[in-house]
C-alpha cells in the first residue's frame, strides 16, 4: 500500500476493502478526502462466484469508514449488489466489528 497505492491517492478517490483488518489495526491510514468502504462477503471467493452465477448470493457485511464525498454508502451498496450479496442480505457494520468478529470466529 505505502509504495504502490498511497502515492497515487488524491481527494475524490475511493479505497475498497474486502476485510477490515488493515484499517482496524492501523496498517493503512487513508489520506483526507478519500472515501473508504468495505464489502465483506461471508464466504470464500469461489462460493461468492458460484452463488452469483446461479442467480443467488452470499450475505455481505457493508461498512463505510470515511465518506468524504457523501456518496460512499451508495457506492458500497452498489458493489454489494454487483457481487450478488444483497440477494442474500447485507448487514451494516463497522470495520472494527467485522474484523473482531471474523478473528474471533476463526479462533473459537
pTM given for the model: 0.93
Judge whether 46 counts as a catalytic residue.
Answer: no
Q: What's the average model confidence in pLDDT over 64-86?
A: 98
Q: What is the DSSP letter of 43?
A: S
> For the chain, which domains are there?
6-107 (3.40.50.720)
pLDDT in tens, 85-96: 999 999 999 999
24, 52, 56, 94 from 27: Cα distances, Å: 8, 31, 34, 16
Q: Is 3 annotated as a binding residue?
A: no
Q: Is 13 annotated as a binding residue?
A: no
pLDDT in tens, 30-44: 999 999 999 999 999
Predicted pLDDT at 107: 87
Pairing between β-strand 35-41 and β-strand 60-66 as defined by DSSP bridges: antiparallel
Catalytic residue among 9, 19, 67, 87: 19
Amino acid at each position: 500500500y505505502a509504495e504502490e497505492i498511497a502515492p497515487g491517492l488524491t481527494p475524490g478517490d475511493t479505497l475498497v476493502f474486502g476485510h477490515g483488518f488493515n484499517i482496524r489495526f492501523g496498517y493503512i491510514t487513508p489520506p483526507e478526502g478519500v472515501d473508504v468502504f468495505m464489502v465483506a462477503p461471508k464466504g470464500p471467493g469461489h462460493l461468492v462466484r458460484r452463488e452469483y452465477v446461479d442467480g443467488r448470493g452470499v450475505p455481505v457485511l457493508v461498512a463505510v469508514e470515511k465518506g468524504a464525498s457523501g456518496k460512499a454508502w451508495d457506492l458500497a451498496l452498489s458493489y454489494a449488489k454487483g457481487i450478488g450479496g444483497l440477494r442474500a442480505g447485507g448487514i451494516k457494520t463497522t470495520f472494527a466489528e467485522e474484523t473482531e468478529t471474523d478473528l474471533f470466529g476463526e479462533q473459537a
